[in-house]
Amino acid sequence: MSCTQLKRLAMVASLFWGGLHACAQATFNIAHYNMSSGFAVGSSVRETPNGYIVFGVQTQLDTTRQDCSTTLFSEDGSFTSEQLIHKPRYENFGGYSDPVSSIPWDSGFIAGLYTFSGGEPLDTLWAARFNVHGDTLWTKPILIDTFAYARKAVAFNHRFYFTGMDGNFTSLPYSAYAMRTDSMANIEFFQRYPQLESRSIAVDETGNMYLAGTASTKGYLLKIDSLGNELWNAFQPKPKGNWWGVKHVFGNKLLCMGEWKSFINPPPGQPYDNTMYLVMYDDNGNFLWDYSGLKCKPTSNLWATFTDGYQDSDSTFIVCGAIQQLAWNRALIYRFTADGDSLWRRDYAHFGNIANSPAFPELPWDIEPTSDGGMVLTGETWNGDTIPPYSDVNMWLLKLDAEGCLVPGCQYVGINEITYGLEHALQIWPNPSDGLIRISLQLPEGLPLEGDLLLQVFDMNGRLVIRKELGGALQQDVHLDLTAQPPGMYSAHISDKQRILTGAKILLR
């Protein structure tokens, strides 16, 4: 019986906590390579009965086309299968934050995808319906234009909602649009909003729509009713910026996720100040609070943005984003209270990205809750690999537990910043063990440290069982004696004074 099946059985039997302890949450950090030596990017991820499905865009196997793909992974993150839609032209799901929607009233997913170029005169926007196995149940052309594409789909109350950009011979330059269809993608409502470049849409319980994106180089949020009437708009309270996503949360609030900056292109001598940024509004457009996160490397116009998030089952929410700073390019994951107070932050990379290079970002495009109380993220991770059969842009899948930990127990270490991508630097054997354990640490040469290394081992209740100073050697062997500890799951973490560098699970029998 799988972990997910065990947890679901425990829930049905009112033994939820027993089910959780009987099978620890699976976590993993993997890159999926496009075997045709082309790029692969994950745009949306969802849990399925057998694992996870990622909707993305990849180079086709003939290496000349761009295709939308559905990629299946097992519960432990192992690659299962992949399908490409194979339309006759280039295609995309939208290319931005979480463009695909689950369908609440039925199993499966809805997406707006668009085809373009390939020697054809017109772009075509399609609605595409998928089942939980990634099979395409149907596609339907819903907008044929000289310039048309999708950026976000939402399924609500047996209807589909889409937003994106559109332009034809009578309405150039292109405009944002909002569109509502029935459950078979027959258009019920379509209207353009030329003042806005739209990147996301949210829908409330009465069918009002909220378009988020950019207008006049600033983040912009527009509320429209079910007939398309503009009810109010709100500019980002910063000089410049952008919204990548908007979520309707806590009943009557709107969370906008993106970045702000002082200049699009700063004058000579003025540093870049691209900054991760959140704003919470109520559904009448009133500003409630904002949060400015980390800034990018000041010498370059690099990533510093929130991209996606979700409301958790309690009164908190999770958001993810990307940062490129002085020596670390990484994805960030935060947990906030409803009032905007940060509870914790975790930093992740797939590839270590220890070189001070602006070329290799770690970009999360979607983060979603999972049935075990954890979270799963997809996006793109870069490694600069140009040797076939790999590409330097790879699909990224990151599964974490409820505390945002790749190695359970990271919340006990006392450090929020976790810089993984170094998982294989820590080897433990035998594992499972009777208690006498050897640890081999092989951190890469040149890894910058903030102080000496520290080894900490915790049990699953957060009790510290071993604390050992390791000095500054990046490669060393350590012997541990856990024979006095009861059987169960333990976690080992290697950190310096600033961040957790690597870790591993230990099973005592």
pLDDT in tens, 325-342: 876 788 999 999 999 999
pLDDT of residue 136: 94
309 is a domain residue: no
Please give the Cα distance from 416 to 430 (Å, whole number).
29
268 is a domain residue: no
442 is a domain residue: yes
pLDDT of residue 482: 95
Domain span at 434: 424-508
Beta bridge partners of 386: none
480 is a domain residue: yes
The position carrying tokens 């499966």 is: 108
pLDDT of residue 22: 36
Q: What is the CATH number of the domain that holds 484?
A: 2.60.40.3080
Which H/E stretch holds residue 11?
helix 3-12
Please give the Cα distance from 233 to 210 (Å, whole number).
9
Domain count, the chain: 1
430 is a domain residue: yes
CA atoms within 13 A on the CB side of 225: 4
448 is a domain residue: yes
483 is a domain residue: yes
pLDDT per position as a tens digit, 404-443: 999 999 999 988 777 666 778 999 999 999 999 999 999 9
Residue numbers in the chain where pLDDT is lower than 70: 1-24, 61-64, 87-88, 95, 118-121, 168-172, 327, 352-358, 385-390, 419-421
pLDDT of residue 17: 32
Q: How far, CA to CA in Å, does 326 sit from each of 129, 200, 367?
A: 43, 30, 25
Q: Which of 289, 295, 291 is nearest to 277 (CA)?
A: 291
Q: Which residues of 113-139 are buried (b: 16+ CB within 10 A; e: fewer)?
A: bbbbeeeeeebbbbbbbbebbbeeeeb
389 is a domain residue: no
Phi, psi for 311 (deg, rounded to 5): -80, 130
- Residue 247 near residue 201, CB atoms below 8 Å: no
pLDDT of residue 37: 73
Which H/E stretch holds residue 6?
helix 3-12
Beta bridge partners of 506: 490
Please give the Cα distance from 237 to 285 (Å, whole number).
12
Strand order in the sheet with 362-369: 28-32, 393-400, 375-382, 362-369
